[in-house]
Amino acid sequence: MCGIVGAVAQRNVVPILLEGLQRLEYRGYDSAGLVVVRDGKLERVRSIGRVADLTEKCANTQGHIGIAHTRWATHGVPSERNAHPHISKNHIAVVHNGIIENYEALRTRLTAEGYEFTSDTDTEVIAHLIHSHYARGNSLLAATQASLAELVGAYAIGVIAADNPDQLICARRGSPLLLGVGIEEHFIASDVSALLPVTRKVVYLEEGDVVEVGRHSYQIFDATGKRVDRAVQISELSNESVQLGQYRHYMQKEIHEQPQALADTLESVCNSQSLVPGIFGAEAAATFADIDSILILACGTSYHAGLVARFWLEEIAGIPCNVEIASEYRYRTSVPNSKALVVVISQSGETADTLAALNHAKALGHSHTLAICNAPESALVRLCKLRMLTRAGPEIGVASTKAFTTQLAALFLLTLVFAKQRGRLTAQQEQHHLHELRHLPGAVQKVLELEPHIAKLAKQFAGKHHALFLGRGLHYPIALEGALKLKEISYIHAEAYPAGELKHGPLALVDKDMPVISVAPNDALLEKLKSNLQEVRARGGELYVFADANTHIRAADGIHIMQMPEHAGYLSPILHTIPLQLLAYYVALQKGTDVDKPRNLAKSVTVE
């Protein structure tokens, strides 16, 4: 959502903060700001817009300690006055990611105590609160700890004081934050990618941790205030993995990284001769033996992965499966089943709705939990008994691409493990699926070769205002995903329907201005799909069909065919996703939108 960077060093930290912000900009991008201590005073620079605008304004700013922030507005419109850092009485500066739920009560109280509010944010109460404790003679650490005890909600914060040029305090609860360890210098950041130019040595902070960060040393205190040691880890993330390289946008790069991301995610399985539950954690075998159904909770693209998985789990493993949008599940009265496995799917592992849904499920008595996630150190992974990490690498583009296909790969493995455990997978079938999985990265690579054709096709969409996506069965969620990709980055209104539903209403929308995009795999529903496509053509709708080899759908006036290189059986949804990602990308290029940072969106949605 928002991104935080901080540094205390002997050198000028402003370039480090700006570079870090640039790398975190994908997390939030409506405004940015930083503050340093200079000659005993706080010097703050803020800017609406992008980090590049802030960089221009920082030409003459320098200091040895500072904190910085990119914002995605929650409380208060995007504006310079609402941009972080927020300052209390020219003395305490704070950057914050998260939401303070009791900020109104605190604001009323602090106003009565004489504090003047200059923004509409919830963050400003933190600055004043810390100031109120600091002014009573507490150290910056003690003032921060006392303030945190009064906050309800989620936060990752960085704090500095004008009269304390050697010390930065940071803390986290519910929002990510890590410490970077350098030589005679230390850093904080929301995500390790921000710190790669300066260090790879990181300490992932735990829930409730508060840290006193100095130039030479740091001290970590846990939620109870006890001094604790946390392991220093060497991040495996390479600097190249977060650089754009030869690509024009991160989304394009990430689409092209899918063969490697899938190979990495499937590595341990593809190198072995058989499937074992252990890939989901040490306790998986015992847990799975006790399971009679599956409940999947996720949001957005991750929810679409869950919808595909339902087909696989019920058809291949014969296990009942429900899929719910996390933000709905948490607020409805559901009937818990202690024998259900709750599977939470998330790229970031930070999504507030998914985390809350998981906690809700646990509160209802669900103890069997599995996270499928791309962020190893995330709250979601830590909160689950079992885990399978997708190894997609950092996903910077706001529109999720490689995270989705690797989630699907992980969910297919889950299906096979359950099928095997339930006696529904012969040794021969197991070998067949393993063979198909080994072939998957290569098959995806071949689909990527369609890129130039799709780029050409995209030109026909640039002037459109609406689009319909059709799919059936296993591919209906892929139609949903295609529509989501198109709307979020090209701003074209797009809807997806199971093709059989068309005649029950949406067909009324079809005319020559409504492009209809159809996913047409060579499966049992193909003939039915062909009839549905005829219904569209008969109403003058322009059809764009992504068809498997051997589907015998012929190009004709008003019917454009994009032939897929092969048919991948159960893994077909993974292959069919790729051209829809490319279509959205090239339509967005045609429309000149900000592909990696579409308006109004943010990468990880850490608020409700």
Q: Which residues contribute to the site for ligand F6R (CB under 6 A)?
A: 299-302, 346-348, 351, 354, 399-400, 484, 488, 604-605
Tell me the residue nearest to ligand F6R as measured from the CB.
Answer: 300
Cβ nearer to ligand F6R, comparing 518 with 581: 581
Is residue 76 exposed (0-12), middle (13-18) or buried (19+ Cβ within 10 Å)?
middle
Cβ nearer to ligand F6R, comparing 47 with 70: 70
Taking the complex as a whole, the smallest distance from the CB of residue 407 to ligand F6R amounts, in Å, to 8
> What does the alpha-carbon distance between residue 389 and residue 381 come to, in Å, rounded to a whole number?
9
Q: Which is the catalytic residue, given 2, 299, 373, 384? A: 2
Cβ nearer to ligand F6R, comparing 164 with 346: 346
Residue-by-residue DSSP string for 75-126: SS-SSTTTSSPEEETTTEEEEEEEEETTHHHHHHHHHHTTPPP-SS-SHHHH
Residue carrying structure tokens 């010097």: 43
Strand partners, 159: 94, 169
**Type of residue found at 40:** G
> What does the alpha-carbon distance between residue 536 and residue 248 come to, in Å, rounded to a whole number?
36
Return the C-alpha torsion angle 258, 379, 180, 261, nearest 10. Answer: -10
Note if 299 is an active site residue.
no
| 552, two tokens | 């015998």
CB 120 within 8 A of CB 137: no
Taking the complex as a whole, the smallest distance from the CB of residue 353 to ligand F6R amounts, in Å, to 8
Cβ nearer to ligand F6R, comparing 379 with 468: 379
Note if 2 is an active site residue.
yes
> What does the alpha-carbon distance between residue 461 and residue 407 come to, in Å, rounded to a whole number?
29
Cβ nearer to ligand F6R, comparing 164 with 351: 351
Taking the complex as a whole, the smallest distance from the CB of residue 565 to ligand F6R amounts, in Å, to 25
Cα 10 versus chain centre, distance: 35
| 545, two tokens | 């069909």
Taking the complex as a whole, the smallest distance from the CB of residue 489 to ligand F6R amounts, in Å, to 8
The alpha-helical segments, DSSP class H, found in 271-387 are: 284-289, 300-312, 326-329, 352-363, 379-383
Q: Which is the catalytic residue, given 385, 464, 597, 603? A: 603
Taking the complex as a whole, the smallest distance from the CB of residue 596 to ligand F6R amounts, in Å, to 11
Cα 264 versus chain centre, distance: 19
Within 10 A of 292 (CB to CB), how many other CB atoms are there? 11
3-state secondary structure of 178: strand
CB 29 within 8 A of CB 73: no
Taking the complex as a whole, the smallest distance from the CB of residue 241 to ligand F6R amounts, in Å, to 18
Cβ nearer to ligand F6R, comparing 133 with 304: 304
Cβ nearer to ligand F6R, comparing 85 with 482: 482
CB 571 within 8 A of CB 442: no
3-state secondary structure of 520: strand
Taking the complex as a whole, the smallest distance from the CB of residue 177 to ligand F6R amounts, in Å, to 17
3-state secondary structure of 177: coil
Taking the complex as a whole, the smallest distance from the CB of residue 111 to ligand F6R amounts, in Å, to 35
Contacts of 410 (CB under 8 A, 6+ apart): 265, 372, 388, 390
Cβ nearer to ligand F6R, comparing 6 with 300: 300
Nearest to 533 by CA among 470, 601, 452, 449: 470
Catalytic residues: 2, 603
